[in-house]
Amino acid sequence: MTNLLKKLRKKLKIKLPKILVILGPTASGKSELAVKIARKFNGEIISADSRQVYKGLNIGSGKVPKDKVPSVRCKVSGVYYYKGIPHHLLDVASPKRTFTVSQYQKLAKKALADIIKRNKLPIICGGTGLYIDALIYDYQLPAVPPQPKLRKQLEKKTTEELFKQLQKLDPRRAENIDHHNKRRLIRALEIALTTKKPIPFLNTAARDNAIIDDSKIFLYYALKLGIKKSPEELKKLIAARLKKRLRQGLIGEVKNLRNPPVGGGLNWKRLDDLGLEYRYVSRYLRGLITKQEMVDSILKESWQYAKRQMTWFKKDKNIRWIENEKEAYEIIKKFLLN
RNA sequence: GGGUCUAUAGUUCAAUGGCAGAAUUUUGGUCUCCAAAACCAAAGAUCGAGGUUCGAAUCCUCGUGGACCCG
């Protein structure tokens, strides 16, 4: 959004839609806080979680449970309800296939526009920083589905070869990419080979709170709230949560993903790729590690994951870090009044 | 009690008597689509005391800890 647009907006006194973002490291209590806020401020939730998009990944991904009786209050068809609050972007993909940010963005944009149209408060809630940013900063992502055959071919080449090929096809992408990172090089080439043109420029308008959907531009105000936890607290929360998940039947869930009552299940490699709980429970089920090793690995890797999340969030200076619910409510009230 | 083997980074393992190195952990970081993934960087060690040697993680002696065998 340019200065001109900003001035125009002030002159016309247009009321812009407001968007709330709840983020934080894993196990910090995002989902429960988001639901409380949604009930208090008439909101709907858009999940921003790269694992909760998959059907069947419930206990291990920390998905909120689905209401048994659908809410009468709100009626949005085909949407997941928890405590009467619509949750968008849960259970939107099969775990058999890789889901990408591009797909996430497309679906989430639609949900966001819908919620605004219904005059409700959109609450984006999740720990996948890339998904949040792709949505609210309107990353320009051409829709290129994963192509396993192409990937297998590219896998045989060295990172150096891949990098040189990318330099030829899309010099601009090659400039920024980490040329040791094979996985990213392969994905970049997959996109370049499919679209046959360089990646689009960043939509600079998006940095100023504008999203272009169906060639229509809409402006918004966003408030980002981060849940602050000390390392000690977070470690305790992660451990308590794993205990709870095991009690809830985490191991059974993974068994079921591998061997569902009907149809084919996921292969071991796919379960490994899903990470954390899914990776180590499946390794335990294969007899590669003991139960104790499984628990230790999940705790260790969850902590490492939480730190990676914080590394991402630290860059964003617009996040307001909160220590409790009350603080959150007060900030939100002010934000909604202005 | 006698004998054999063994001791290197938090952990698992390398290093002809000649610059102690890797994996992992830990800490920090990267990021426009596999992101719970992938990648980068930094920090971190020769069990102790003597001896042989120009030079010892490496050879010798003693001590200490551990593993195993015999009684």
pTM, entire model = 0.90
Query: A99: Cβ under 7 Å from strand B?
Result: yes
Query: A267: Cβ under 7 Å from strand B?
Result: no
Is a pLDDT exceeding 90 seen at residue A27?
yes
Is a pLDDT exceeding 80 seen at residue A72?
no
Q: Lowest-pLDDT range, A77-91, A121-135, A206-220, A230-244?
A: A206-220
Is a pLDDT exceeding 70 seen at residue A4?
no
Specify the pLDDT at position A219.
Answer: 74
Neighbour-count burial for A235-255, b at 16+ CB within 10 Å, e otherwise: bebbbebbeebbeeebbebbe
H/E segment holding residue A273: helix A268-273
Is a pLDDT exceeding 80 seen at residue A309?
yes
Confidence of residue A97 (pLDDT cuts 50, 70, 90): very high
Query: A86: Cβ under 7 Å from strand B?
Result: no
What percentage of chain A exceeds 90 in pLDDT?
74
Return the bridge partners of A313, or none: none
ipTM of the complex: 0.86
Confidence of residue A9 (pLDDT cuts 50, 70, 90): low
Query: A315: Cβ under 7 Å from strand B?
Result: yes
Confidence of residue A15 (pLDDT cuts 50, 70, 90): confident
Distance in angstroms between the alpha carbons of the first and the last residue of chain A: 20
Q: What is the mean pLDDT of residues A98-110?
A: 94
Specify the pLDDT at position A1.
Answer: 46
Q: What is the mean pLDDT of residues A127-144?
A: 92
Pairing status of strand A221-227 against strand A18-23: parallel
Q: What is the mean pLDDT of residues A316-322?
A: 94
By the 10 Å C-beta count (0-12 exposed, 13-18 middle, 19+ buried), A1 is classed as middle
Q: Lowest-pLDDT range, A17-21, A68-72, A282-286?
A: A68-72
Is a pLDDT exceeding 80 seen at residue A266?
yes
Please report, as a single letter, which amino acid is at residue A172: R
Q: Average pLDDT over chain A, rounded to whole? A: 89
Chain A window 19-58, residues with Cβ within 7 A of nucleic strand B: 49-52, 57
Rounded Cα distance, A251 and A280, in Å: 10
Rounded Cα distance, A210 and A140, in Å: 13
Rounded Cα distance, A73 and A84, in Å: 7
Query: A91: Cβ under 7 Å from strand B?
Result: no
- CA-to-CA separations, A301 to A68, A83, A176, A207, A228, in angstroms, rounded: 33, 31, 28, 32, 20
Specify the pLDDT at position A71.
Answer: 60
